[in-house]
Amino acid sequence: MRLKLTIAYDGRPYYGWATQPNSQTIEDKLNEALTTIAKQDVKVQGSGRTDTGVHADGQIAHFDCPVGLEMNPHNWVPALNTKLPKTIRVIDCVEVPADFHARFSATSKTYSYFLATTPVLHPMLNGRAWHLPRLLDPATLEQALQHYIGTHDFRAFAALRGNETAKTNYTRTITEATLTPVDGGYLISFTGDGFLYKMVRLLTGAAVQAAQGRLRLDDHLSLLDQPAKLPNGKSPFCAPGGGLTLTLVKYD
């Protein structure tokens, strides 16, 4: 019995989603909760990694229910939440086909990024927004975001993990990159078929640099689709992790 979890979390206390040595991660906390309930080793498979300090409203993960624990999927929600810290909550649990995979079955992901433009950042937004009290031009910001729409080589917007090879694929398709005025600032939304390591933060950082007059729009556009032998051109700024939230993962 394979179960799909929808998970929300405040990323501030954690070193991202994925398990890593000597660090507290969301994946670790979920594995610990599952293992405690099942009284045997159970691990989740996530739809993708989120970085240190990044939040989620709609992270997806799956796990295979151990034999003998095939209870109603909805009962897993309170069972897990009693074992998880208050900063992590399972929102939903449903049964899925045996060939479902949280990562490889995903067709698109949507991230949102909050830019706070008020002169003083409200303390409740600390670690939940990028504070930009300096004026930025929203029209230029929208122009920069439109550069990302379509299928491109995004190598200039990918941080290196150290395991890249000559065959590493940097091509992704972005179907949405929008700017919405909200109370206290702006919300940027990105939807695409997948995102590279720190890609959304690098996309956001470069667009904001353009909107603040620190990066020409033609230079910004030239960062896309760089030839494989020109790795020196990189997005000039990586936005802080705190403003970023994984909001939705879609499946067929």
Cα 117 to its chain centre, rounded Å, is 22
Cα 209 to its chain centre, rounded Å, is 21
**Cβ atoms within 10 Å of 116's Cβ, excluding its own:** 21
Structure tokens given for 139: 């029209």
Q: Single out the catalytic residue among 51, 92, 137, 225.
A: 51
> Annotated catalytic, 51?
yes
Please choose, from the candidates 83, 106, 86, 87, the residue with its C-alpha nearest in 3D space to the C-alpha of residue 34: 83
Q: Are 53 and 11 in contact (CB under 8 A)?
A: yes
Please enumerate in sequence order all residues whose Cβ is within 8 A of that of 190, keeping only pairs 6 or more positions apart, or say none: 110, 111, 112, 113, 148, 174, 176, 177, 200, 203
Which residues belong to the active site?
51
